[in-house]
Chains A and B, each alone.
Chain A
């Protein structure tokens, strides 16, 4: 049982480049989330998908887009990367809202 799988684990981008972070879960969870983690700021919600076919903005959605491709997969896209998007990105899933999350291993993104 892999749980939540994120790719890539590390990425360096130049300002203005685009990329997509991939996330897949094999636990048949309905809800999926993207968080970013910055020192001293905890985990901040970027976007979430309460169920297949729905997506909603979180606390810090600017500069990002998401796609819930199917029940298993939830991708995060940076259209034009900026240095302020340098962070560690975590994908998570839960059976439904208000249940504990299972996190992926994270993507460390650096924008230069």
Chain B
């Protein structure tokens, strides 16, 4: 089955800096790659997603890139703010989602 690895497990940045989280997947048939943000004690919420026929997608300060050949995808957050502090999960899906283990992002004011 699909296996998703996510790095780093923790990331600390200064407010205003950029943050990058990377994921790799094993099944080349995966065709949908969402990212979720989970604040402490809350439910995961979808923040951006990309499909396999697209290489890059941007929504304001967040962007996702996909390299199908290398089977990896990344989340980029620019101009980070303290409210970006959360755990971020990547996922890869064919017919059901397999999640990475998560990255705890801390943005220091």
Interface segment among A11-19, A20-28, A70-78, A97-105: the answer is A97-105
Quote the shortest CB–CB distance from B46 to chain A (angstroms): 4
Interface secondary structure of A, over-half rule: loop
* Partner among A40, A42, A99 whose Cβ is within 8 Å of the Cβ of B89: A42
Report yes or no: A103 in contact with B43, Cβ–Cβ below 8 A: yes
Q: How many angstroms between the C-alpha atoms of A22 and B36 in the bound complex? A: 23
Q: How many angstroms between the C-alpha atoms of A45 and B98 in the bound complex? A: 8
Report yes or no: A103 in contact with B97, Cβ–Cβ below 8 A: no
Q: A40-B101, A41-B101 are in contact. Are A103 and B96 (CB under 8 A)?
A: no
Report yes or no: A98 in contact with B32, Cβ–Cβ below 8 A: yes
Residues of chain A within 8 A of B9, CB atoms compared: 40
Chain A stretch 40-91: residues in CB contact (< 8 A) with chain B? 40-45, 48, 50, 58-59, 90
* Partner among A42, A50, A59 whose Cβ is within 8 Å of the Cβ of B102: A42
Query: CB of B83 within 8 A of chain A?
Result: no
Report yes or no: A106 in contact with B43, Cβ–Cβ below 8 A: yes
* Partner among B32, B36, B43, B98 whose Cβ is within 8 Å of the Cβ of A105: B43
Q: A98-B31, A98-B32, A100-B49 are in contact. Are A43 and B99 (CB under 8 A)?
A: yes
Residues of chain B within 8 A of A41, CB atoms compared: 101
Q: A40-B101, A43-B89, A59-B1 are in contact. Are A33 and B96 (CB under 8 A)?
A: yes
Quote the shortest CB–CB distance from A15 to chain B (angstroms): 26
Q: How many angstroms between the C-alpha atoms of A41 and B99 in the bound complex? A: 9
* Partner among A40, A45, A105 whose Cβ is within 8 Å of the Cβ of B96: A45
* Partner among B36, B42, B93 whose Cβ is within 8 Å of the Cβ of A98: B93
| B-binding residues in A (CB < 8 A) | 33, 35, 40-45, 48, 50, 58-59, 90, 97-106
Q: A40-B9, A100-B34 are in contact. List 7 more A-B contacts (CB 8 A).
A: A42-B102, A43-B89, A44-B99, A45-B96, A50-B95, A101-B36, A105-B43
A–B complex contacts, Cβ < 8 Å, 12 sampled: A42-B89, A42-B102, A45-B98, A90-B44, A97-B93, A98-B93, A98-B95, A100-B46, A100-B49, A101-B34, A103-B45, A106-B43
